[in-house]
């Protein structure tokens, strides 16, 4: 953490007294300062990139300064970034960075041990589904509609060896919402008390704080919103203070498996976090504008954006907002709030027609780029059935509503007017092919 956030010298320039991880500071202030101490040797305000793989010992087993030994086990850039992550995810005390979101998933599943059982939301990211069904040897996963399941159905799915419940909310790609507070209370009241993991990639720590709602672990594909510039592949876990033993176990696996990010990637991602609060506000406002535009176009069958006032679970979306996000939303002008509120940058919609019209739309946009991934400053569009969720069998995709006419948008931070104009003209082109 920055010395300026730990010091209590009232006359020093830029000094702010703070609790651990900057708990009494605003989200944006933590994003910029926590974990970004000025360099002790040069005074550089931006931490340097430390590329060394090994570190001098003063005697056998006697390490200098921060105790670094070997870069797989610990590195100045990774340690600093993990501190930033623990600070940004409200309720977090420990952060662990990995080489990718998939590496994070693999490490969590590995930690459960052989013979473990997982309950996963049925509408889960295709890469997670692939790992759980085709890679995770000795671990069984049951997929449940956790959006609509009642308490009895969820409790009936829990076995004596159920170690983990895995959810996304909103889900990828159909943006289904799960009542996280209700689910956490239900699981923690069960005799076996399985852990609750929330993949918070879609909303980022700005819009959602799952740990405050009862989650035990939060996972991020940092590749997306946290880094935000489509130039880093990385993942992370954040845990609360009462899970110190679990953190120690996962930290051991992080080192033993070795799926760790490079110092340069950590430096880039930490740079990205410094504008996370600014970007997420812009993503959300733009997504709301695009969703409203889609609603009014005759070529659109339906729009899924939980922030829309017309969404059936708009109240749940509002209740799930992180405290800092809710304060920002509440301060938005009445003309914005009349139609809903920003709820992340992801929008899904079904175009009238078939896969033919969907592909025509995707190849006709001028600002939106047809590409996988999400969460960058640039707007992206993709076809889940043939791209991100192609690993899910067609029959199961159909049950989840991932059909040939479903399109997923990652709305960037360009000018809202340009994005709205782009989707409208692409829809016009697609409609002409019906």
Q: Are 88 and 30 in contact (CB under 8 A)?
A: yes
Sort strands 380-382 and 346-351 into parallel, antiparallel or unpaired: unpaired
How does DSSP classify residue 21? G
376 phi/psi in degrees, rounded to 5: -85, 170
Tokens describing residue 266: 């950590």
Regarding beta strands 300-304 and 117-121, do their DSSP bridges make them parallel or antiparallel, or are they unpaired?
unpaired
Residues in Cβ contact with 120 at an 8 Å cutoff, skipping those fewer than 6 apart? 128, 129, 132, 141, 142, 143, 144, 165, 166, 167
What is the rounded (10 degree) CA torsion for 251, 254, 260, 266? -20
Cα Rg for the chain, rounded, in angstroms? 22
How far apart are alpha carbons 236 and 95 in whole angstroms? Answer: 7
**Active site amino acids:** 72, 125, 199, 224
Distance of CA 4 to the CA centre of its chain: 29
């Amino acid at each position: 953490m920055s010395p300026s956030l730990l010091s209590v010298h009232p006359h020093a320039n830029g000094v702010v007294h703070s609790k651990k991880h900057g708990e009494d500071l605003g989200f944006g202030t933590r994003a910029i300062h926590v974990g970004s101490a000025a360099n002790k040797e040069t005074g550089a305000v931006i931490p340097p990139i430390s590329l060394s793989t090994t570190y001098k010992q003063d005697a056998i087993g006697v390490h200098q300064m921060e105790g670094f030994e070997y870069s797989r086990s610990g590195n100045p850039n990774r340690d600093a970034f993990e501190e930033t992550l623990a600070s940004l995810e409200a309720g977090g005390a420990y952060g662990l960075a990995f080489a990718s979101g998939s590496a994070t998933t693999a490490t969590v599943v590995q930690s459960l041990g052989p013979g473990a059982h997982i309950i996963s939301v049925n509408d889960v990211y295709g890469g997670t589904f692939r790992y759980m069904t085709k890679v995770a040897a000795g671990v069984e996963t049951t997929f449940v509609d956790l959006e609509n399941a009642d308490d009895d159905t969820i409790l009936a799915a829990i076995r004596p060896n159920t170690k983990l419940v895995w959810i996304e909310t909103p889900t990828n790609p159909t943006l289904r919402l799960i009542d996280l507070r209700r689910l956490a209370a239900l699981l923690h009241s069960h005799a076996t008390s399985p852990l609750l993991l929330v993949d918070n990639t879609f909303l980022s720590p700005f819009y959602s704080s799952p740990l405050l709602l009862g989650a035990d672990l939060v996972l991020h594909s940092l590749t997306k919103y946290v880094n935000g510039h489509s130039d880093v592949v990385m993942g992370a876990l954040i845990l609360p203070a009462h899970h110190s033993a679990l953190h120690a176990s996962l930290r051991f696996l992080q080192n033993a498996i070795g799926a760790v990010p490079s110092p340069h990637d950590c430096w880039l991602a930490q740079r990205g976090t410094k504008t996370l609060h600014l970007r997420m506000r812009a993503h959300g406002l733009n997504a709301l504008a695009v969703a409203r535009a889609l609603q009014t176009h005759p070529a659109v069958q339906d729009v899924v954006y939980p922030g829309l006032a017309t969404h059936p679970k708009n109240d749940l979306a509002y209740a799930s907002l992180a405290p800092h996000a809710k304060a920002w939303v509440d301060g938005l002008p009445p003309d914005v709030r009349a139609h809903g509120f920003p709820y992340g940058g992801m929008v899904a919609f079904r175009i009238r027609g078939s896969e033919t019209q969907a592909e025509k739309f995707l190849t006709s946009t001028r600002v939106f780029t047809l590409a996988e991934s999400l969460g960058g400053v640039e707007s992206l569009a993709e076809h889940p059935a043939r791209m991100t969720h192609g690993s899910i069998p067609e029959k199961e995709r159909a049950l989840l509503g991932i059909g040939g006419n479903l399109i997923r948008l990652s709305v960037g931070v360009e000018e809202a007017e340009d994005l709205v104009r782009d989707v409208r003209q692409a829809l016009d082109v697609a409609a002409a092919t019906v």
